[in-house]
Chain A
Amino acid sequence: MTTARRRPATELDRVLSPDTPHATALAELLLAMADDEFVIGFSDSEWTGIAPLLEEDVAMSSLAQDELGHAAALYALLAGLTGTTVDAIAYDREPAEYRHCRLLDHGRGDWAMTIARRYLYDSADVVRLEALVAGSWAPLAELVGKLIREERYHRMHAETWLERLARTRGEPRDRLLTALATLSTDAGTVFTPLAAEPALIEAGIMAAPFTTLETEWRASIEPTFAALGLPMPEPVSDPGRGRLDHGDAFRWLWGEFTMVRRADPGASW
Protein backbone atom coordinates (compact mmCIF):
# COMPACT_ATOMS: atom_id res chain seq x y z
CA MET A 1 0.00 0.00 0.00
CA THR A 2 1.48 3.33 -0.96
CA THR A 3 0.59 6.70 0.43
CA ALA A 4 0.82 9.12 -2.48
CA ARG A 5 0.61 12.68 -1.17
CA ARG A 6 1.05 15.15 -3.97
CA ARG A 7 -0.43 18.16 -2.17
CA PRO A 8 -0.03 19.81 1.22
CA ALA A 9 -2.00 18.28 4.10
CA THR A 10 -5.39 19.88 4.67
CA GLU A 11 -7.80 19.83 7.55
CA LEU A 12 -9.50 16.84 5.97
CA ASP A 13 -6.29 14.86 5.88
CA ARG A 14 -5.93 15.26 9.58
CA VAL A 15 -9.17 13.32 10.05
CA LEU A 16 -8.74 10.98 7.12
CA SER A 17 -5.75 8.80 7.86
CA PRO A 18 -4.99 5.43 9.38
CA ASP A 19 -4.56 7.32 12.67
CA THR A 20 -8.20 8.44 12.70
CA PRO A 21 -9.97 7.15 15.78
CA HIS A 22 -12.06 4.08 14.96
CA ALA A 23 -10.38 3.80 11.53
CA THR A 24 -10.75 0.02 11.46
CA ALA A 25 -14.43 0.11 12.38
CA LEU A 26 -15.12 2.87 9.85
CA ALA A 27 -13.21 0.93 7.20
CA GLU A 28 -15.46 -2.10 7.60
CA LEU A 29 -18.60 0.02 7.33
CA LEU A 30 -17.34 2.03 4.37
CA LEU A 31 -16.25 -1.06 2.47
CA ALA A 32 -19.70 -2.63 2.85
CA MET A 33 -21.51 0.55 1.77
CA ALA A 34 -19.16 1.36 -1.08
CA ASP A 35 -19.20 -2.20 -2.45
CA ASP A 36 -23.02 -2.14 -2.32
CA GLU A 37 -23.18 1.06 -4.37
CA PHE A 38 -20.48 -0.10 -6.77
CA VAL A 39 -22.08 -3.47 -7.50
CA ILE A 40 -25.63 -2.17 -7.96
CA GLY A 41 -24.36 0.72 -10.06
CA PHE A 42 -22.35 -1.52 -12.33
CA SER A 43 -25.11 -4.08 -12.56
CA ASP A 44 -27.77 -1.54 -13.52
CA SER A 45 -25.46 0.09 -16.04
CA GLU A 46 -25.91 -3.06 -18.07
CA TRP A 47 -29.25 -1.68 -19.22
CA THR A 48 -27.52 1.05 -21.19
CA GLY A 49 -28.54 0.68 -24.80
CA ILE A 50 -31.17 -2.01 -24.21
CA ALA A 51 -33.66 -0.59 -21.71
CA PRO A 52 -37.34 -0.99 -22.64
CA LEU A 53 -37.86 2.70 -23.38
CA LEU A 54 -35.48 5.37 -24.65
CA GLU A 55 -36.26 7.63 -21.72
CA GLU A 56 -35.70 4.74 -19.31
CA ASP A 57 -32.36 4.01 -20.95
CA VAL A 58 -31.24 7.51 -20.02
CA ALA A 59 -32.87 7.35 -16.58
CA MET A 60 -31.43 3.97 -15.63
CA SER A 61 -27.97 4.86 -16.96
CA SER A 62 -28.14 8.05 -14.95
CA LEU A 63 -29.16 6.18 -11.79
CA ALA A 64 -26.31 3.74 -12.34
CA GLN A 65 -23.86 6.61 -12.76
CA ASP A 66 -25.14 8.16 -9.54
CA GLU A 67 -24.53 4.89 -7.68
CA LEU A 68 -21.03 4.60 -9.10
CA GLY A 69 -20.40 8.20 -8.03
CA HIS A 70 -21.58 7.38 -4.52
CA ALA A 71 -19.29 4.36 -4.50
CA ALA A 72 -16.35 6.50 -5.61
CA ALA A 73 -17.00 9.01 -2.83
CA LEU A 74 -17.23 6.25 -0.21
CA TYR A 75 -14.13 4.50 -1.56
CA ALA A 76 -12.32 7.84 -1.37
CA LEU A 77 -13.02 8.07 2.38
CA LEU A 78 -11.88 4.48 2.75
CA ALA A 79 -8.73 5.14 0.74
CA GLY A 80 -7.90 8.00 3.07
CA LEU A 81 -8.38 5.83 6.14
CA THR A 82 -6.30 2.96 4.81
CA GLY A 83 -3.65 4.88 2.92
CA THR A 84 -4.43 3.46 -0.50
CA THR A 85 -6.21 4.56 -3.68
CA VAL A 86 -9.80 4.34 -4.90
CA ASP A 87 -8.86 2.28 -7.96
CA ALA A 88 -6.88 -0.21 -5.91
CA ILE A 89 -9.86 -0.78 -3.61
CA ALA A 90 -12.43 -0.92 -6.40
CA TYR A 91 -10.55 -3.14 -8.84
CA ASP A 92 -7.66 -5.00 -7.24
CA ARG A 93 -9.53 -7.51 -5.12
CA GLU A 94 -10.57 -11.08 -5.83
CA PRO A 95 -14.34 -11.69 -6.03
CA ALA A 96 -14.39 -13.32 -2.58
CA GLU A 97 -12.95 -10.15 -1.02
CA TYR A 98 -15.86 -7.92 -1.96
CA ARG A 99 -18.24 -7.10 0.86
CA HIS A 100 -21.45 -6.14 -0.90
CA CYS A 101 -24.67 -7.73 0.31
CA ARG A 102 -26.09 -10.92 -1.19
CA LEU A 103 -29.17 -9.06 -2.45
CA LEU A 104 -26.89 -7.52 -5.06
CA ASP A 105 -25.29 -10.82 -6.11
CA HIS A 106 -28.23 -11.58 -8.36
CA GLY A 107 -27.73 -10.81 -12.02
CA ARG A 108 -29.43 -7.90 -13.73
CA GLY A 109 -32.30 -10.11 -14.85
CA ASP A 110 -35.35 -8.72 -16.59
CA TRP A 111 -36.84 -5.27 -15.98
CA ALA A 112 -39.01 -6.54 -13.11
CA MET A 113 -35.98 -8.06 -11.39
CA THR A 114 -34.03 -4.81 -11.72
CA ILE A 115 -36.94 -2.77 -10.35
CA ALA A 116 -37.61 -5.20 -7.50
CA ARG A 117 -33.96 -5.16 -6.50
CA ARG A 118 -33.66 -1.39 -6.79
CA TYR A 119 -36.75 -0.92 -4.66
CA LEU A 120 -35.55 -3.34 -1.96
CA TYR A 121 -32.03 -1.91 -1.98
CA ASP A 122 -32.98 1.79 -2.09
CA SER A 123 -35.59 1.46 0.66
CA ALA A 124 -33.01 -0.31 2.84
CA ASP A 125 -30.21 2.11 1.97
CA VAL A 126 -32.22 5.13 3.11
CA VAL A 127 -32.72 3.56 6.55
CA ARG A 128 -28.99 2.91 6.77
CA LEU A 129 -28.15 6.45 5.65
CA GLU A 130 -30.56 8.02 8.15
CA ALA A 131 -28.73 6.16 10.92
CA LEU A 132 -25.44 7.69 9.80
CA VAL A 133 -26.37 11.25 8.83
CA ALA A 134 -25.93 12.69 12.33
CA GLY A 135 -22.79 10.71 13.06
CA SER A 136 -19.78 12.03 14.94
CA TRP A 137 -17.22 11.61 12.14
CA ALA A 138 -17.73 14.67 9.94
CA PRO A 139 -16.44 13.38 6.57
CA LEU A 140 -18.96 10.52 6.57
CA ALA A 141 -21.84 12.52 8.04
CA GLU A 142 -21.43 15.23 5.40
CA LEU A 143 -21.20 12.74 2.55
CA VAL A 144 -24.25 10.86 3.84
CA GLY A 145 -26.19 14.15 3.90
CA LYS A 146 -25.51 14.55 0.18
CA LEU A 147 -26.27 10.91 -0.61
CA ILE A 148 -29.67 11.15 1.10
CA ARG A 149 -30.62 14.06 -1.13
CA GLU A 150 -29.73 12.13 -4.28
CA GLU A 151 -31.32 8.90 -3.09
CA ARG A 152 -34.75 10.58 -2.75
CA TYR A 153 -34.82 10.73 -6.48
CA HIS A 154 -33.80 7.08 -6.89
CA ARG A 155 -36.59 5.99 -4.57
CA MET A 156 -39.15 8.03 -6.49
CA HIS A 157 -38.19 6.12 -9.63
CA ALA A 158 -38.21 2.70 -7.94
CA GLU A 159 -41.54 3.33 -6.20
CA THR A 160 -43.34 4.46 -9.30
CA TRP A 161 -42.12 1.47 -11.28
CA LEU A 162 -42.91 -1.00 -8.46
CA GLU A 163 -46.43 0.35 -8.37
CA ARG A 164 -46.79 0.30 -12.13
CA LEU A 165 -45.65 -3.33 -12.43
CA ALA A 166 -47.65 -4.48 -9.40
CA ARG A 167 -50.89 -2.94 -10.61
CA THR A 168 -50.75 -4.19 -14.18
CA ARG A 169 -52.37 -7.61 -14.37
CA GLY A 170 -50.69 -10.27 -16.43
CA GLU A 171 -47.04 -10.39 -17.42
CA PRO A 172 -45.86 -7.27 -15.55
CA ARG A 173 -47.25 -8.33 -12.19
CA ASP A 174 -46.27 -11.99 -12.69
CA ARG A 175 -42.67 -11.09 -13.46
CA LEU A 176 -42.55 -8.80 -10.44
CA LEU A 177 -43.85 -11.54 -8.16
CA THR A 178 -41.26 -13.96 -9.56
CA ALA A 179 -38.49 -11.42 -8.99
CA LEU A 180 -39.60 -10.71 -5.41
CA ALA A 181 -39.73 -14.44 -4.69
CA THR A 182 -36.18 -14.90 -6.00
CA LEU A 183 -34.86 -12.00 -3.91
CA SER A 184 -36.96 -12.69 -0.83
CA THR A 185 -34.48 -14.36 1.56
CA ASP A 186 -31.64 -12.07 0.41
CA ALA A 187 -33.52 -8.78 0.67
CA GLY A 188 -32.52 -8.07 4.28
CA THR A 189 -28.79 -8.68 3.71
CA VAL A 190 -28.22 -4.92 3.42
CA PHE A 191 -28.50 -5.07 7.24
CA THR A 192 -25.98 -7.89 7.75
CA PRO A 193 -24.42 -7.24 11.18
CA LEU A 194 -20.82 -6.01 11.10
CA ALA A 195 -18.13 -6.79 13.65
CA ALA A 196 -17.50 -3.06 13.88
CA GLU A 197 -21.01 -2.16 15.03
CA PRO A 198 -20.43 -1.87 18.78
CA ALA A 199 -17.45 0.43 18.18
CA LEU A 200 -19.39 2.53 15.67
CA ILE A 201 -22.37 2.91 17.96
CA GLU A 202 -20.22 3.75 20.96
CA ALA A 203 -18.35 6.35 18.91
CA GLY A 204 -21.64 7.95 17.90
CA ILE A 205 -21.03 7.25 14.21
CA MET A 206 -24.01 4.93 13.83
CA ALA A 207 -27.31 5.61 15.60
CA ALA A 208 -28.54 2.02 16.02
CA PRO A 209 -27.45 -1.58 15.32
CA PHE A 210 -28.30 -3.19 11.98
CA THR A 211 -30.83 -5.56 13.56
CA THR A 212 -32.83 -2.52 14.69
CA LEU A 213 -32.47 -0.89 11.29
CA GLU A 214 -33.71 -4.01 9.53
CA THR A 215 -36.88 -3.95 11.65
CA GLU A 216 -37.33 -0.27 10.76
CA TRP A 217 -36.88 -1.07 7.09
CA ARG A 218 -39.47 -3.83 7.08
CA ALA A 219 -41.93 -1.53 8.82
CA SER A 220 -41.26 1.18 6.24
CA ILE A 221 -42.06 -0.96 3.21
CA GLU A 222 -44.96 -2.88 4.73
CA PRO A 223 -47.67 -0.31 3.86
CA THR A 224 -46.60 -0.22 0.20
CA PHE A 225 -46.44 -4.00 -0.09
CA ALA A 226 -49.82 -4.35 1.60
CA ALA A 227 -51.43 -1.75 -0.68
CA LEU A 228 -50.06 -3.52 -3.76
CA GLY A 229 -50.83 -7.03 -2.53
CA LEU A 230 -47.17 -8.09 -2.63
CA PRO A 231 -45.60 -10.65 -0.26
CA MET A 232 -43.14 -9.11 2.21
CA PRO A 233 -39.52 -10.32 1.95
CA GLU A 234 -38.81 -13.24 4.25
CA PRO A 235 -36.20 -13.25 7.01
CA VAL A 236 -32.63 -13.47 5.73
CA SER A 237 -31.31 -16.99 5.26
CA ASP A 238 -27.90 -17.50 6.90
CA PRO A 239 -27.70 -13.89 8.14
CA GLY A 240 -24.12 -14.14 9.40
CA ARG A 241 -22.91 -14.67 5.84
CA GLY A 242 -24.99 -11.94 4.24
CA ARG A 243 -21.94 -10.22 2.74
CA LEU A 244 -19.98 -13.34 1.84
CA ASP A 245 -20.23 -16.28 -0.59
CA HIS A 246 -20.69 -14.31 -3.77
CA GLY A 247 -21.78 -16.60 -6.57
CA ASP A 248 -21.29 -16.99 -10.30
CA ALA A 249 -23.34 -13.96 -11.31
CA PHE A 250 -21.03 -11.72 -9.31
CA ARG A 251 -17.92 -13.48 -10.59
CA TRP A 252 -19.06 -12.67 -14.10
CA LEU A 253 -19.71 -9.03 -13.16
CA TRP A 254 -16.28 -8.84 -11.52
CA GLY A 255 -14.72 -10.11 -14.74
CA GLU A 256 -16.48 -7.29 -16.59
CA PHE A 257 -15.56 -4.43 -14.30
CA THR A 258 -11.96 -5.52 -13.77
CA MET A 259 -11.27 -6.40 -17.39
CA VAL A 260 -9.65 -3.10 -18.28
CA ARG A 261 -7.67 -2.90 -15.05
CA ARG A 262 -6.36 -6.44 -15.38
CA ALA A 263 -5.38 -5.83 -19.00
CA ASP A 264 -2.67 -3.44 -17.82
CA PRO A 265 -2.41 -3.16 -14.04
CA GLY A 266 -0.98 0.14 -12.89
CA ALA A 267 -1.67 1.95 -16.17
CA SER A 268 -3.37 5.34 -15.98
CA TRP A 269 -6.36 5.92 -18.25
Chain B
Amino acid sequence: MSQGSAPDAAPRLEAWEVFRQEKVGGSMTHAGSVMAPDAVLAAHYAREMFSRRQESIRLWVVRRADVVDLDDADLLQPPLDRSFKKPGGYVMRDKLAAARKQSGQAKPRQRSG
Protein backbone atom coordinates (compact mmCIF):
# COMPACT_ATOMS: atom_id res chain seq x y z
CA MET B 1 0.00 0.00 0.00
CA SER B 2 2.32 2.76 -1.21
CA GLN B 3 -0.02 5.65 -2.00
CA GLY B 4 0.85 9.25 -1.28
CA SER B 5 4.09 10.51 0.12
CA ALA B 6 4.44 8.31 3.22
CA PRO B 7 6.86 5.41 2.69
CA ASP B 8 6.41 1.86 3.90
CA ALA B 9 9.89 1.80 5.38
CA ALA B 10 10.71 3.58 8.63
CA PRO B 11 10.64 7.31 7.77
CA ARG B 12 13.75 9.38 8.26
CA LEU B 13 13.85 12.67 10.06
CA GLU B 14 15.37 15.53 8.16
CA ALA B 15 16.12 19.15 8.92
CA TRP B 16 13.82 21.97 7.81
CA GLU B 17 14.74 25.64 8.05
CA VAL B 18 12.06 28.03 9.29
CA PHE B 19 11.67 31.69 8.33
CA ARG B 20 9.19 33.94 10.05
CA GLN B 21 7.50 37.26 9.43
CA GLU B 22 6.71 39.40 12.41
CA LYS B 23 4.40 41.94 10.81
CA VAL B 24 2.72 42.63 7.49
CA GLY B 25 5.26 43.73 4.92
CA GLY B 26 8.20 42.64 7.06
CA SER B 27 10.97 40.49 5.68
CA MET B 28 11.14 36.75 6.20
CA THR B 29 13.89 36.23 8.73
CA HIS B 30 15.54 32.99 9.65
CA ALA B 31 14.16 31.75 12.96
CA GLY B 32 15.74 28.34 13.36
CA SER B 33 15.17 24.75 12.32
CA VAL B 34 13.04 21.71 13.15
CA MET B 35 13.46 17.99 12.54
CA ALA B 36 10.50 16.30 10.82
CA PRO B 37 9.79 13.36 8.52
CA ASP B 38 7.56 15.23 6.05
CA ALA B 39 6.20 18.63 5.05
CA VAL B 40 2.94 18.38 7.03
CA LEU B 41 4.67 17.67 10.32
CA ALA B 42 7.43 20.16 9.50
CA ALA B 43 4.79 22.88 9.13
CA HIS B 44 3.11 21.77 12.34
CA TYR B 45 6.35 21.79 14.30
CA ALA B 46 7.44 25.10 12.82
CA ARG B 47 4.24 26.66 14.08
CA GLU B 48 4.79 25.15 17.51
CA MET B 49 8.39 26.27 17.80
CA PHE B 50 8.11 29.71 16.22
CA SER B 51 4.55 30.85 16.56
CA ARG B 52 2.70 29.05 19.32
CA ARG B 53 2.56 32.31 21.25
CA GLN B 54 1.25 34.03 18.15
CA GLU B 55 4.53 35.81 17.57
CA SER B 56 4.53 35.32 13.77
CA ILE B 57 2.01 36.07 11.06
CA ARG B 58 3.69 34.00 8.35
CA LEU B 59 6.16 31.12 8.23
CA TRP B 60 8.20 29.63 5.42
CA VAL B 61 9.36 26.07 6.01
CA VAL B 62 12.02 24.75 3.64
CA ARG B 63 13.84 21.45 3.51
CA ARG B 64 17.45 22.19 4.34
CA ALA B 65 18.40 19.90 1.45
CA ASP B 66 16.47 22.20 -0.93
CA VAL B 67 18.35 25.30 0.15
CA VAL B 68 21.04 26.34 -2.33
CA ASP B 69 24.05 26.87 -0.13
CA LEU B 70 26.80 29.22 -1.27
CA ASP B 71 30.01 29.53 0.70
CA ASP B 72 32.61 29.72 -2.05
CA ALA B 73 35.17 32.38 -1.00
CA ASP B 74 36.15 33.06 -4.61
CA LEU B 75 32.54 33.94 -5.27
CA LEU B 76 31.65 35.88 -2.12
CA GLN B 77 34.98 37.40 -1.11
CA PRO B 78 37.04 37.66 -4.34
CA PRO B 79 40.59 38.97 -3.93
CA LEU B 80 40.71 42.10 -6.12
CA ASP B 81 39.71 45.47 -4.68
CA ARG B 82 36.06 46.29 -5.09
CA SER B 83 35.75 49.16 -2.67
CA PHE B 84 34.50 51.34 -5.50
CA LYS B 85 31.20 49.45 -5.23
CA LYS B 86 30.67 50.67 -1.70
CA PRO B 87 29.28 54.03 -0.61
CA GLY B 88 32.39 55.98 0.39
CA GLY B 89 34.56 53.81 -1.85
CA TYR B 90 34.32 56.37 -4.63
CA VAL B 91 34.58 59.82 -3.07
CA MET B 92 32.96 62.37 -5.40
CA ARG B 93 34.40 65.37 -3.54
CA ASP B 94 37.96 64.30 -4.27
CA LYS B 95 37.19 63.44 -7.89
CA LEU B 96 35.46 66.79 -8.43
CA ALA B 97 38.28 68.78 -6.82
CA ALA B 98 40.83 67.03 -9.05
CA ALA B 99 38.71 67.71 -12.18
CA ARG B 100 38.31 71.42 -11.29
CA LYS B 101 42.03 71.76 -10.69
CA GLN B 102 42.78 70.15 -14.01
CA SER B 103 40.41 72.47 -15.87
CA GLY B 104 41.25 75.59 -13.86
CA GLN B 105 37.72 76.08 -12.63
CA ALA B 106 37.13 77.64 -9.23
CA LYS B 107 34.87 76.03 -6.73
CA PRO B 108 31.47 77.82 -6.86
CA ARG B 109 30.70 80.08 -3.91
CA GLN B 110 28.57 78.33 -1.42
CA ARG B 111 25.04 79.74 -1.57
CA SER B 112 23.49 80.95 1.62
CA GLY B 113 19.85 81.46 2.64
**Bound complex: CA of A169 vs CA of B52, how far in Å?**
33
Inside 8 A of A258's CB, which chain B residues have their CB? none
Judging by beta carbons under 8 Å apart, are A59 and B40 in contact?
Answer: no
Q: CB of B71 within 8 A of chain A? A: no
B1 touches A168 (CB 8 A): no
Which residues of chain A have C-beta atoms less than 8 A from B38's C-beta?
160, 164
Question: Which residues from B are CB-within-8-Å of A170?
Answer: 10
A167: contacting residue among B6, B13, B35, CB under 8 A: B6
A157 within 8 A of B: yes
| Chain A residues within 8 Å of B6, by CB | 163-164, 167-168
B residues within 8 A CB of A229? 1
CB neighbours of A227 from chain B (8 A) = 3
Cβ contact of A62, chosen from B1, B41, B48, cutoff 8 A:
B48
Contact B11 A164 (CB under 8 A): yes
Closest B residue, CB atoms, query A169: B8
Is B19 in the interface zone, CB < 8 Å from A?
no
Instruction: State the interface size on chain B (CB cutoff 8 A).
Output: 23
Cross-interface CB contact of B44 among A54, A156, A163, A167, cutoff 8 Å: A156
Query: A229 to B8, alpha carbons, bound, how many Å?
Result: 14
In the docked arrangement, what's the CA distance between A195 and B89, Å? Answer: 83
Docked complex: A11-58 residues within 8 A CB-CB of B: 53-56, 58
Chain B proximity mask over A45-87: 1 for CB below 8 Å, otherwise 0: 0000000011110110010000000000000000000000000
B36 at the interface (CB under 8 A from A): yes
Known interface pairs A160-B40, A167-B1, A229-B1; A58-B8 also in contact (CB < 8 Å): no
Partner of A168, one of B8, B13, B34: B8
CA distance A169 to B11 in the complex (A): 11
* A118 CB to nearest chain B CB (Å): 13
Contacts of B8 in A (CB 8 A): 167-169
CB of B4 closer than 8 Å to a CB of A: yes
* Chain A residues packing against B (C-beta within 8 Å): 53-56, 58-59, 62, 153, 156-157, 160, 163-164, 167-170, 227-229
9 contacts between A and B (CB under 8 A): A54-B35, A55-B35, A55-B41, A58-B52, A59-B44, A163-B6, A168-B6, A168-B11, A227-B3
Given A55-B45, A55-B48: 17 more A-B contacts, CB < 8 Å: A55-B35, A55-B36, A55-B41, A58-B49, A59-B45, A59-B48, A156-B40, A156-B44, A160-B38, A163-B4, A164-B37, A164-B38, A167-B1, A167-B8, A168-B6, A168-B7, A168-B8
